[in-house]
Amino acid sequence: MIKFTCIGTLVSNQLQQKNQAKKRPLLAREGWPFIALALILTIIAAFINSWLGLALALVAIFVIQFFRDPSRQAPSGDSLVLSPADGRIVAVEEVHDPYAERRALKISVFMNVFNVHSNQMPVSGRIHKVEYHPGKFVNADLDKASVENERNAIVIERADGQLVTSVQVAGLVARRILCYVTEGQVLQAADRYGFIRFGSRVDVYLPLQAKPLVAIGDRVSHTTTVLAELES
């Protein structure tokens, strides 16, 4: 009995450690310097003038909410394409994918300053290509942002050979795209791969046979919303 109890305790501890490893801080690490600065300025301002302190407190609250980064449970299904970002669907259309050189189904998610800006892998696979393009900073809600704005694309090759392209696009206010993956890496769907600061967009290019499960205007959440289903 003691032996089985010890084994059960060991397995339980291992599972607990595994679950804890998957969790991440509620606030994105990219925002820690900004949050710290906002809080310090708020404290200083409060000693100088209460109204100024209140104004900066509101700024600090905005900064904190912008950099929130919640952990979420992804739905199961190898053929599912998960949303890589929070926001609103602004495009579902057949276009040319310039990163994989093919005709593709493009689904675009526009993120405003109140959305979570952490980016997750839409599918599992190997990073086939990472391609950065400098560019403009026009409103990311506009279609031309996909080809004119600063952007960083990753082309993901799934185990079945299908390609999925995820493109981080800078916006009117966004001035920094952060991408943490390199060519050859193998990641799982919903793994965190990047972050975009202060308003932006993510374009996802899929094989034409993919079945879209969202429409223009839909609100989506990274990891939990399924954008489309790939052909098995």
* Tens digit of each residue's pLDDT (9 = 90 or more) over 169-212: 987 765 678 899 999 999 999 999 998 876 688 999 999 999 99
CA distance 105 to 24: 32
**Intervals of CATH 2.70.70 along the chain:** 80-230
Q: Could you give the percent of the chain with pLDDT greater than 70?
A: 84
Q: What is the pLDDT of residue 34?
A: 74
Q: What is the pLDDT of residue 119?
A: 92
Q: Could you give the percent of the chain with pLDDT greater than 90?
A: 47
Q: What is the pLDDT of residue 110?
A: 92
Q: What is the pLDDT of residue 7?
A: 32
- Average pLDDT for residues 66-91, to the nearest whole number? 88
* Residues annotated as part of the active site: 200
3-state secondary structure the chain: CHHHHHHHHHHHHHHHHHHHHHCCCCECHHHHHHHHHHHHHHHHHHHHCHHHHHHHHHHHHHHHHHCECCCCCCCCCCCEEECCCCEEEEEEEEEEECCCCEEEEEEEEEECCCCCCEEECCCCEEEEEEEEECCECCCCCCCCHHHHECEEEEEEECCCCCEEEEEEEECCCCCEEEECCCCCCEECCCCEEEEEECCEEEEEEECCCCEECCCCCCEECCCCCEEEECCC
pLDDT tens for 100-155 read 999 999 999 998 878 887 899 999 999 999 999 987 777 666 777 787 888 999 99
pLDDT for residue 221 is more than 90: yes
Q: In terms of pTM, does the model score above 0.95? A: no
Q: What is the pLDDT of residue 1?
A: 40
Q: What is the pLDDT of residue 143?
A: 77
80-230: CATH number: 2.70.70
Tell me the two tokens of residue 8: 């059960």
> What's the mean per-residue pLDDT of the chain?
83
CA distance 56 to 123: 40
Indicate the pLDDT class of residue 24, thresholds 50, 70 and 90. Answer: low
